[in-house]
Amino acid sequence: MKKNNFIKYIYVALIVIICIVYLVLDHAGAQLDMAYNRSSRHDKEYTTSRANPDDFITIKHQPTRYYHTHKPQEYIIMNYASSRNTLGGTHRVDERRDYDEEGKPWIKKSLEKEGGRANKKKLHLRYDAAGGEVEYVVTFKNGRKFEQYNTIGGKIQGTASPLRIGLVVGKETYYYDYLGLADEWQELTIPYESFEGLPIDKITSLEALKLIVVGKFQRQTAGEIFFDELKLYKYSPDDLERLKGIMEEQRMAEPEDYIRALYAERDGY
């Protein structure tokens, strides 16, 4: 009887040892994979070796451009699965015709399921900005939440480049012209200070965000934009400065120069 019990104990101990060895080897393999993946990313913008990789998030601003930062605090203003605006506003589309230009701009919005899941949706904007400009507008009734954060954005993909993003305060709209939009998902995060002339002390009076496609800036006036989860972010001061530098590189600095170069390209000069 004692001999049988001893054999059972040995058998259980062997199983426990095998499980421990398996877990250790599995963890070591995962760490090696992480190390390999980190070492193979040659297009990183910023890296650090002083923190746990789990404390970091990779945000994609262009298909070939990455940077690492501490994960920011986030607040979701609008999730398109429910189309509920947590700041109490609405969303709509508008078009404006420039009578000096040929064409008639139009824009349509719809909500589409992602992966066949009813509880996961994205906003789909189809447009042609020829002869003017088109815009998607999200309004806010309660702007007090904005002062707790320092960046606005969300997940986006599309064919409009540049994409003009506007923040409306009172009767004024402050713009950032983004050149980095691409036809694959990226997380676009724009610091408040990147909007030219925006008075930060009036950020609680923010009334609306606009996504604008200006026809005369586009190589192709017709296209589409997908948007998901309009959010606010709060970055640490150091990471905010890094982000401002990156977004400054992605700004269309001189619209008139851009238009002249675009027309020269179209005419083959």
The whole-angstrom separation of Cα 165 and Cα 153 is 10
What length does the chain have? 269
Q: What is the pLDDT of residues 92-123, one digit of tens each?
A: 999 999 877 778 999 999 999 876 666 778 99
Q: What is the dihedral of CA 164, 167, 169, 174, to 10 degrees?
A: -40
Q: Write out the two tokens for 215.
A: 């026809």
- Which candidate, 46, 234, 216, 77, places its Cα nearest to that of 142? 77
Q: What is the pLDDT of residue 35?
A: 44
Rg (the chain; Cα; Å): 25
> Which tokens in the block code for residue 231?
């959010």
According to DSSP, the β-strands at 222-234 and 117-128 are antiparallel
Check if the beta carbon of residue 206 is closer than 8 Å to that of residue 168.
Answer: yes
Condensed to tens digits (0 to 9), the pLDDT of residues 59-98 reads: 444 443 445 456 789 999 998 888 789 999 999 999 999 8
Is there a cis peptide before residue 237, judged by omega within 30 degrees of 0? Answer: no
Over 170-198, what HEC string results? CCEEEEEEECCCCCCCEEEEEEHHHCCCC
5 by DSSP, 3-state: which?
A: helix
Q: Which residues pair with 157 in a beta bridge?
A: 226
- Which of 17-26, 50-59, 174-183: highest mean pLDDT? 174-183
**Which of 49-53, 89-93, 188-192, 237-241 has the lowest average pLDDT?**
49-53
The position carrying tokens 């972010």 is: 233
Model pLDDT for residues 150-185, shown as the tens digit of each residue: 999 999 999 998 999 999 998 899 999 999 898 889
What percentage of the chain has pLDDT greater than the value 70? Answer: 69
Looking at the domain covering 53-267, what would its CATH class be? Answer: mainly beta
Cis peptide before 162 (omega within 30 of 0): yes
Confidence of residue 269 (pLDDT cuts 50, 70, 90): very low
Range from 13-27, 95-109, 191-205 that averages highest in pLDDT: 191-205
